[in-house]
Amino acid sequence: MSTRPRVSARISAISESATLAVDAKAKAMKAAGRPVIGFGAGEPDFPTPGYIVEAAVQAAREPRFHKYTPAGGLPELKQAIADKTRRDSGYAVEASQVLVTNGGKQAVYEAFATLLDPGDEVLVVAPYWTTYPEAIKLAGGVQVDVVTDESTGYLANVEQLEAARTERTKVLLFVSPSNPTGAVYSREQTEAIGRWAAEHGLWVVTDEIYEHLVYGGAEFTSIATAVPELGDRVVILNGVAKTYAMTGWRVGWLIGPSDVVKAATNLQSHATSNVANVSQAAALAAVSGDLSAVAEMRAAFDRRRQTMVRMLNEIPGVFCPEPKGAFYAYPSVKDLIGKELRGRRPQSSGELAELILEEAEVAVVPGEAFGTPGYFRLSYALGDDDLVEGVSRMAKLLSEAR
Ligand SMILES: Cc1ncc(COP(=O)(O)O)c(C=O)c1O
């Protein structure tokens, strides 16, 4: 019998997505008849706008879409993404600098696979979205955390980044608005960080998937436009999932210099080939249309954001800085760790989240998933009534902590 491991070391090292795991557990409890309220999901609760669905229906009837199309994306979609990038970010790119991917997730994976050699370091601001570490690791890269907390609204500064930089640093990952914290860097902060990266010859991989979800006077700034000194060492990741409520359609993209995009396209040509044509046609309708659908969603998210943050901050032991973008709140629950609650004494935010799920039937994602124990991530992309009911249940339970 072979003593070789059944699963490779590289793939065994990948962790299960904690956010999907929480969601799955909550859904299983729901299916068993328990009235669980889930704050775990990272997706809008709205359906995809009708005109986008209609474009997909039309496309499904077109025989040319029943066949393979270019691995890097439909030419008309690549052009529309280039035009949209100029419209929304003021960043001028050619269609040849766009690669259409199976969701933003594949763009994340391919960006790191294309840029990193084993041992190359990537600066990642923590708390970070759970997919980045796995994509960096799979590419042989080394993640170097730059840890932030609620005292700065989870924003990193140049001094912190410089302290983490070494000879091996190749890439800075810049995410604004952030998942999981909702932090948004101002134009000045973005410029300072971008100039520092340019000065040290770093690449910047910037995830702009929440660009249209900013609130209360906060503004999205594309680091690619704000810092022309970065030259061509910028890779932009984006997608239709969050802006147009299209998480299930699986369309994202990567924008970068031609050599990087060509190499990433070669990778994709052997992995997944073209994204499903019907989904690409839907994405084409989305990015070439106006932004009225996202304006409506944004108004609803903003209302829910304010309600959630106010209610969370009323809970003793919970502190939540105001998220300025995306659709997540990221409160600290550090003061509740180790306290007695319903006969138990949770020793981590993970244990506290489990207790809340069992006792209050409310699902939140613990900060462990995002590299910072002691916090919860709650999505406010759910109906207003459920949101109030869920946070009220949590508040009632947590107020018993002694
Ligand atoms: C920061 C960030 N980037 C990228 C994605 C990828 O989204 P998708 O693969 O659904 O397009 C997500 C989804 O949760 C995200 O939060």
CA distance 122 to 141: 7
> What is the chain's length?
402
Beta-bridged to residue 121, according to DSSP, are: 142, 169
Give the model's pLDDT for residue 1.
67
Decide whether any atom of ligand 1 lies within 6 Å of the 243 Cβ. no
pLDDT in tens, the chain (402 residues): 678 899 999 999 888 777 777 778 888 898 999 999 999 888 888 999 999 999 999 999 999 999 999 999 999 999 999 999 999 999 999 999 999 999 999 999 999 999 999 999 999 999 999 999 999 999 999 999 999 999 999 999 999 999 999 999 999 999 999 999 999 999 999 999 999 999 999 999 999 999 999 999 999 999 999 999 998 999 999 999 999 999 999 999 999 999 999 999 999 999 999 999 999 999 999 999 999 999 999 999 999 999 999 999 999 999 999 999 999 999 999 999 999 999 999 999 999 999 999 999 999 999 999 999 999 999 999 999 999 999 999 999 999 999
CA distance 183 to 155: 7
* Nearest partner of 131 among 169, 99, 101, 104, judged by Cα: 104
Q: Which residue has the tokens 């809008």?
A: 44
CA distance 328 to 185: 16
Alpha helices by DSSP H, listed for 144-186, are 158-164
Calculate the CA 80 to chain-centre distance: 23
Give the model's pLDDT for residue 94.
97
CA distance 391 to 360: 10
Q: Whose CA is nearest to atom 15 of ligand 1?
A: 179
In sequence order, which residues have a C-beta less than 8 Å from that of residue 276 and are 6 or more positions away? 250
Q: Whose CA is nearest to atom 16 of ligand 1?
A: 179
Give the model's pLDDT for residue 41.
80
Give the model's pLDDT for residue 35.
93
Q: Is 122 exposed, middle or buried (0-12, 13-18, 19+ CB in 10 A)?
A: buried
Element (H, E) at 74: none
Give the model's pLDDT for residue 185.
98
Q: Whose CA is nearest to atom 5 of ligand 1?
A: 104
Give the position, in ligand 1's atom list, of the atom nearest the Cα of 239.
11
Q: Whose CA is nearest to atom 4 of ligand 1?
A: 104
Decide whether any atom of ligand 1 lies within 6 Å of the 240 Cβ. no
Q: How close is the Cα of 150 to the center of ligand 1, in Å?
A: 23
Kindly give the pairing relationship between strand 234-239 and strand 203-207: parallel
CA distance 227 to 158: 15
Q: Which residue has the tokens 């052009």?
A: 79
Decide whether any atom of ligand 1 lies within 6 Å of the 179 Cβ. yes
CA distance 357 to 362: 5
Kindly give the pairing relationship between strand 121-126 and strand 142-147: parallel
Strands (E), 269-393: 328-329, 362-363, 365-366, 376-379
Q: What is the DSSP letter of 15?
A: P
Measure Cα distances from 310 to 59, 153, 323, 349, 390 in Å: 45, 16, 12, 21, 14
Q: What is the DSSP letter of 248?
A: G
Beta-bridged to residue 204, according to DSSP, are: 172, 234
Q: How close is the Cα of 327 to the center of ligand 1, in Å?
A: 12
Decide whether any atom of ligand 1 lies within 6 Å of the 209 Cβ. yes
Q: How close is the Cα of 198 to the center of ligand 1, in Å?
A: 26
CA distance 29 to 37: 10
CA distance 114 to 266: 10
Decide whether any atom of ligand 1 lies within 6 Å of the 252 Cβ. yes
* Nearest partner of 376 among 340, 333, 322, judged by Cα: 333
Q: How close is the Cα of 68 to the center of ligand 1, in Å?
A: 25
The count of other CB atoms within 10 Å of the CB of residue 264 is: 24
CA distance 78 to 280: 10
Measure Cα distances from 216 to 43, 219, 351, 357 in Å: 21, 9, 34, 31
Out of 48, 132, 179, 235, mutate this one to test ligand 1's pocket (max ligand atoms within 8 Å of CB): namely 179
Say if CB 107 and CB 254 are below 8 A apart: yes
Asked if residue 177 has a cis previous peptide bond (ω within 30° of 0), the answer is yes
Give the position, in ligand 1's atom list, of the atom nearest the Cα of 178.
1
